[in-house]
A and B are shown apart, each in its own frame.
Chain A
Amino acid sequence: MSEARPPSSNRALLWAGVAVLCAWTLLPIYLLALGALGGREIVSQWPKPFAPLGLSLQTLGTFLAIEGVWRATWVSVKAAALTMAMALALGVPAGYALARFRFRGAGAYRVLILMTRAFPVAILALPLTVSFIRLGVYDTPLGVALVHAVLATPFATLVCASLFMGIPKELEEAAWVFGCSRFTGFLRVVLPLALPGIAAASIFAFVLSWNEVFAASVLTVRQRTLTAYLLSVLSESPLHLQFAGGLVLIVPSVLFIFLVRRRLFAMWGIGNR
């Protein structure tokens, strides 16, 4: 780097700041984990320990036995998987069209996609309640996923469009020369190259659905997603159960962010222009 290195006192200050920011991010999650895994005892303990001394297989067992949380987790997984599938099924073809064709209406379509950004989409679950009851998808993971896919599809479309634009057209044309159709050429040449990016986009769709609270709470009664379940028991259930639910909610998200960390910037840089 051609930049002059700042003097060493500045370096120390820089690293101190960095350390504080890391602690600021991680410490709260650690404390929630203590509360979640410490079982019933830790919630009433005063003052609370900062080290995981009270942890045992027994408290871990209590954690894993909180039935409501796991049932709701399963609904969340189903809804998030459906969201992911829908976002891909809709976003990949649309992204390909935006990347490879110039056609009338492409501008209008882009406006439609960008519009979803300026609106709090989850709130649109309110009027959907009635039509979902009529269609029989109210209180099902599919119904929740339909609304979540409205959030995830525009994102998937834009990410896919930029992925496909980054793949030279000549590669595809070579495949056509060798007898591939547009479709088989896409499958054999474009898709393998775009796959890592598409995987990252689908992970994002999954996390988006996994974390969404409002639409999930409005659209479910008995088959609650984890977020809807936790929101509904906020005022009535013991704290250790709420903390356990919070931890179950956070762990997969943290792992997912780790998996897509290299693509985060490419995706946000593109996804927002």
Chain B
Amino acid sequence: MREPKALPYLLIAPSALFLTGLFLIPLAQTAVLAFQESGGAWGLGNLRRMTDELNFPDALANTFKVVLLAVPLQLVLALGMTMALRNIRRGRDLLVWVWSIPLGISDLAAGLVWLAILNDQGWLNSALFRLGLIAQPQAWLTYETPAALLAAIVIAEIWRATAIVFVILLAGVQLLPKEYEEAADVFGATPWQRFFRITVPLLKPSIQTALILRTVLAFEMFAMAMALGGRNFPVLVSEAFNAQYFSQDYGVAAAYAVLVMTISVAATVLYLVALRVPAEQR
């Protein structure tokens, strides 16, 4: 069939134009906004005003605490779920569905779920009260209980977002050739040796993908922190939101955006380098 050479270009043109207009240009605009002073001159004024903000050190620390605590735990939990499923035949489909449910739940909804459980008169306190462990409602989510508040947000984050790691790992496991693990068995490897020496290295591409996706999304988390901690648990993105929405300080909001994007890209590069996948394994 004879066709104009332009056909593939015509087919990708709409989405290429769309992504240019609404992704590349805003990306450049954000950078311009962040590095432009009110007079139009270039400079680091917005970044300085951002770092001078009262909440900035807390927001930076909180963001990293959540990511560094939640992401490794999610990886371990998801690996456990994936390995458990390998030994299950009956009811497998049902389990996969149940465990992937949180995939469809936003960080805001997850925050509200855990707010129902963890508020002063919530279900956690009700359970503790019935067990005789506490005499009256106990506050978990205030600035007076920073450790409990951090734990609450990490738990909620693990509850919500382990599913995506799990789904990516399970997709990866289904592609693994069985022969390597069988060979390990033949040579007398214990289950743990087989897991750490064979399964995990073979799963590295999936682990890398899952970690990149998950870490970028974890740096974006903010509605959950706002639902559970209100103003007591600032994170970088919630500060960007407040700067834009309440202070209408677009320059500082853009500075936060640039910071979050820089961190996300740095994390992606870090994973790409640290978990480099040899070409023949791709």
Contact = CB atoms under 8 A, between A and B. Distances in A.
A26 B98 contact: yes
A126 B240 contact: yes
A108 B71 CA distance: 31
B84 A35 contact: no
Given A261-B97, A272-B209, A230 B112 contact: yes
A165 to B, nearest CB: 14
Given A47-B126, A117-B213, A182-B1, A242 B100 contact: no
Interface string A1-43: 1111010000000100110011011101101101100000001
Contacts of A17: 80, 84
B23 interface: yes
Most A-side CB within 10 Å, residue of B15, B20, B22, B254: B15
A81 interface: no
Contacts of B268: 118
Given A35-B116, A126-B244, A211-B104, A25 B250 contact: no
B84 A268 contact: no
- Classify the secondary structure of B's interface with A: helix
Contacts of B129: 46-47
A12 B272 CA distance: 39
A150 B17 CA distance: 11
B108 interface: yes
A112 interface: yes
A239 interface: yes
Interface string B59-77: 0000000000000000000
Contacts of A150: 18-19, 22-23
A32 B113 contact: yes
A268 B170 CA distance: 10
A123 B18 contact: no
B257 A126 contact: yes
B58 interface: no
Interface string B17-57: 01110111011011001000000000000000000000000
A209 B31 CA distance: 25
A141 interface: no
Interface string A118-154: 1111111011111000000000000000110110011
A74 interface: no
A214 B87 contact: no
A120 B16 contact: no
Most A-side CB within 10 Å, residue of B81, B84, B282: B84
Given A119-B264, A243-B112, A250-B113, 14 more contacts: A26-B98, A28-B116, A90-B18, A93-B12, A97-B12, A115-B23, A128-B22, A147-B22, A234-B230, A242-B227, A250-B105, A254-B105, A257-B103, A264-B167
22 contacts: A22-B95, A24-B159, A25-B98, A29-B101, A46-B129, A103-B5, A112-B23, A121-B23, A126-B240, A127-B33, A127-B250, A149-B18, A176-B1, A211-B106, A214-B237, A234-B226, A239-B119, A249-B106, A249-B109, A253-B106, A272-B168, A273-B205
Interface of B: 1, 3, 5, 7-9, 11-12, 14-16, 18-20, 22-24, 26-27, 29-30, 33, 80-81, 84, 87-89, 93, 95-109, 112-117, 119, 121-123, 125-127, 129-130, 137, 159, 164, 167-168, 170-172, 174-175, 178, 182, 185, 205, 209, 212-213, 216-217, 219-220, 222-223, 226-227, 230, 237, 240-241, 244-245, 250, 253-254, 257, 260-261, 264-265, 268, 282
A-B pairs, top 9 by smallest CB distance, nearest first, are: A253-B104, A246-B112, A211-B106, A269-B171, A127-B29, A97-B11, A47-B126, A101-B8, A90-B15
